[in-house]
Amino acid sequence: MGDATELLKKKLTTEDYNRLMALANAKLHAFVADAIELTGAESVYVCTDTDEDRAYIRHMALEKDEEIALNIKGHTCHFDGYYDQGRDKEVTKYLLSSGSDLGASLNSMDKKEGTEEVRSLLKSSMAGRQMLVMFFCLGPVDSEFSIPCVQITDSPYVGHSETILYRPGYEQFRKIGNSPDFFRFLHSEGELEGAVSKNVDKKRIYIDLEEDIVYSVNTQYGGNTIGLKKLSLRLAIQKASKEGWLAEHMFVMGARGPGKRITYFAGAFPSACGKTSTSMLPGQTIIGDDIAYFRKKNGVMRTVNVEKGIFGIIQDVNTHDDPIIYEALTKPGEVIFSNVLLDGENRPHWLGMGSELPSDGVNHSGQWHKGKQGPDGKEVTASHKNARYCLNISDLKNMDPRMDDPEGVPAGGIIYGGRDSDTWVPVEQAFNWTEGIILKGASLESETTAATLGSEGVRTFNLMSNLDFLSIPLGKYIQNNLDFADGVENPPMVFSVNYFLKDKNREYLNSMRDKLVWILWAELRVNGDVEGLMTPTGIIPKYDDLAKLFKEKLGAEYTQDEYVRQFTFRIPENLAKLDRVEKIYREKVADTPAILYQTFAEARKRLNKAAKKHGDNISPLDLPAE
């Protein structure tokens, strides 16, 4: 500790030194001192929870050209490099000691080798720059859910983003004293070309689960650098597994039922599958759009939003489909746009915004014009398909008043959804918790989007929409979810939703607005207000209940023909899905719980029995009432 203190005294101003020493935590001091020595930072700024410190970070982002001021007060835009536009799974790895094994599905490497490699890339990476030492809290402060975090970065864009996305944590660190129980993140954007990371071929995102530390270098894209987002989720999943709670890739929202009733739902969707827009449906309330922690309290599952802001995909956000988000993006307030198109007046434009796009401007590729080809020979779209916005949930008019409740909110239902063109109906309730976790969550597939690097439109297995972030063996993760209902008096109902079902002509059978009806039907089910029809894999709505919801909530006539086309149950596709998913478990997941195969077998029996009676496709009008 003595050596760390001496180095900190030498490198920090008196004010910054006093700020850091006010947090009486030896592990924290050693981490900061090591980061300074490793990266060679010229100066260090220690951020507290004050508005003045947050304003300093915002100003620094503009001064360094990592953000550009836009035409609306408080709005800025950030550009990532051309080849740094998504989470890079290939170079995101767990560092494991000899003898540790997470299974073949998770990307890992030797801890000693990986630590040496990433530290060599971080060596002197902040020379001539200012290091930011920032403190945040995952989950509400002063709560059983709280996890203190320290983020070190040389990117004011990353720091600015985190001040929007996470609750301030300096005072939380003051309260934990010398406790070693906190997460650590060290990031450097590396050598810059213009204002973007130059050496993306040397991009590394390495996660040390034993030390609760994440290293990230030579990248600026938020999913690779904003430590408290999906990187901290990986740390939290392992921590939760050890301590008996759950960390999930889920939104939390409140659905309004009859009277003044609010029922809380958590939902897991892969990127660009309607997750954020579901979390803030018109007329409903939002607690969070991305990551949730769950704990059991007095026989009830309770959940919180880990974050206080949103880092959402902006493509297709428009006044018709997402009026609440659109309003927040077009009024004064603190918003960071990333990788959109800027016109000559510094106004942002994005794909699917509902108005004609300019034919030229500035985007992540530099000066842009319609038809431009990038360095890889591909046509550059006006705005990147994975372009984002970052804003405070408190700037949304439908923020739930219990968003910061330290006790969390009771989870009434769990929803799993993805891009599925031919199998799942728009909404279905599982028969029970076990079938919900296995046939909905553990069987989740989705057709890929631009949110991750690689090909689009490929059907991909994505266990509970959390596969990219798991830090424990897959089978153990499934078993943890199954066991979490133990001791819960009324476990949440589990639903699947599918906003992307298509007909034989490849035309969508759902309007994006329809999701409001699917969620409100689930709210009625949770509270026992409506009955349903039995499919081989769950319970679907009756026509009359949906027609009433469409009329009352959307002002739309919902025909029986639409109902039949949307809710016809497709047996061959469901059987094929079970075959695909089971093959993955048998070949790649050595610790798969036996109950998964048993549940699959029982579902197959029901599917085959129904096929003998009804044929390949079952009209909902032929299904029995529950």
CATH of the domain at 420: 3.90.228.20
Q: For residue 482, tell me if it sits in a domain.
A: yes
- Annotated catalytic residue within 47, 149, 273, 390: 273
Q: For residue 373, tell me if it sits in a domain.
A: no
Which portions of the chain are predicted below pLDDT 50? none
Alpha-carbon gap, residue 245 to 40, rounded angstroms: 39
Q: For residue 512, tell me if it sits in a domain.
A: yes
What type of residue sits at position 296? K
pLDDT at res. 296: 97
Q: Domain total for the chain?
A: 2
Domain co-membership, 188 together with 279: no
pLDDT at res. 23: 97
Domain co-membership, 8 together with 140: yes
Q: For residue 438, tell me if it sits in a domain.
A: yes
Alpha-carbon gap, residue 340 to 364, rounded angstroms: 7
Domain co-membership, 189 together with 261: no
- In Å, what is the CA distance from 558 to each residue of 28, 38, 495, 553, 564? 59, 63, 22, 12, 11
Domain co-membership, 473 together with 596: yes
Q: Is 273 marked active-site?
A: yes
Alpha-carbon gap, residue 90 to 107, rounded angstroms: 8
Quickly count helices (H) and strands (E) in the chain.
18, 36
Q: Using the CB atoms, write b or e for 240-263: b if 16+ within 10 Å.
A: bbeeebbbbbbbbbbbbbeeeebb
Last residue of a domain, one of 190, 222, 243: 243
Domain co-membership, 30 together with 113: yes
Domain co-membership, 457 together with 592: yes
Domain co-membership, 232 together with 289: no
Q: For residue 124, tell me if it sits in a domain.
A: yes
pLDDT at res. 450: 54
Q: For residue 109, tell me if it sits in a domain.
A: yes
Q: For residue 115, tell me if it sits in a domain.
A: yes
Domain co-membership, 504 together with 518: yes
Span 164-196, pLDDT tens digits = 999 999 999 999 999 999 999 999 999 999 999
What is the domain range of residue 52? 2-66+89-243
Q: What is the domain-level CATH number for residue 202?
A: 3.40.449.10
Residue 452 DSSP class: B
HSE-up of 24 (CA within 13 Å, CB side)? 4
Q: For residue 350, tell me if it sits in a domain.
A: no
pLDDT at res. 457: 66
pLDDT at res. 453: 53
Domain co-membership, 183 together with 234: yes
pLDDT at res. 449: 57
pLDDT at res. 323: 86
Last residue of a domain, one of 243, 267, 289: 243
Last residue of a domain, one of 218, 243, 268: 243
Domain co-membership, 155 together with 298: no
- In Å, what is the CA distance from 520 to each residue of 176, 262, 409? 41, 11, 18
Span 65-101, pLDDT tens digits = 999 999 999 999 999 999 999 989 899 999 998 877 7
Residue 441 DSSP class: I
Domain co-membership, 178 together with 261: no
Domain co-membership, 214 together with 287: no
